[in-house]
Amino acid sequence: MQDQLKVALIQSDLVWENPKQNRKNFSEKIESILKAVDVIVLPEMFSTGFTMKVETVAETMDGKTVAWMQEQAQKTGAAIVGSLIISENKTYYNRLLFVDPSGSITIYDKRHTFTLAGEDKIYSAGKEKVIINYKGWKICPLVCYDLRFPVWARNIENYDVLLYVANWPKPRIFAWDTLLKARAIENMSYVVGVNRVGLDGAQNEYSGNSAVYDVLGNAITAIKPNREQVEVAILERSHINFYRNKLKFLADKDEFILK
């Protein structure tokens, strides 16, 4: 069990519906991380941008982008995290992959598809919450619109890190900032949020506002909006243990069953 978890956040623009160029761009950004880290986090749909044109850009689990993630994880010795468009059994998923250095893959299919953009008409929603055990840390990965639904994120598993990848547009960025902080406070966990920047092919603008919050809701990163940036945050287990043992808020949480 590690006392620290070093997490690299890559806030980046995305080339619209061009997996090959996006893989190249992210390879260069990953190479710019000069110190060893444990986890590298990419945005939602990092290989294409948030598109509904699945017929032309969807990949399989045997495809080039999944293989690229495995190669990068092995090369860096860090887990690589991000979501991409996966076709499986004639169904499309906005699927987050957590790929560890051994090549092992844990998947999480986005639970809350974004109805405002018609995502629910193209992609099938996931049904299972996932907790990843990595280097002694329990990580709960979620995707973009999931952030608006606190019941799904509720910390009933005693996880340490809540991790969001996103394509969250600039006009609603105040909600992104506010809800990331709220999820950290209410779940007494670190929250990592990685969002893209730039314009997509539908002319939606993204400002990034990627961040890491501690269990009290304090930002521990200084990532600037509206620009590409790579930043490493160091998460401390002692911080989690101290405040959970002192405040004991999670012991008073409500019990419920999701349907």
Catalytic positions, please?
Answer: 44, 110, 144
Torsion angles phi and psi, residue 12, rounded to 5: -140, 155
Residue 81 and residue 165 in contact, taking contact as beta carbons nearer than 8 Å: yes
In terms of Cα–Cα distance, which of 77, 180, 96 is closest to 135? 77
Exposed e or buried b per residue across 195-231, where buried means at least 16 C-beta atoms within 10 angstroms of its C-beta: bbbbebeeebebbbbbbbbbbeeebebebebeeebbb
Q: How many CA atoms lie within 13 A of 161 on its CB side?
A: 27
Distance CA 18, CA 48 (A): 6
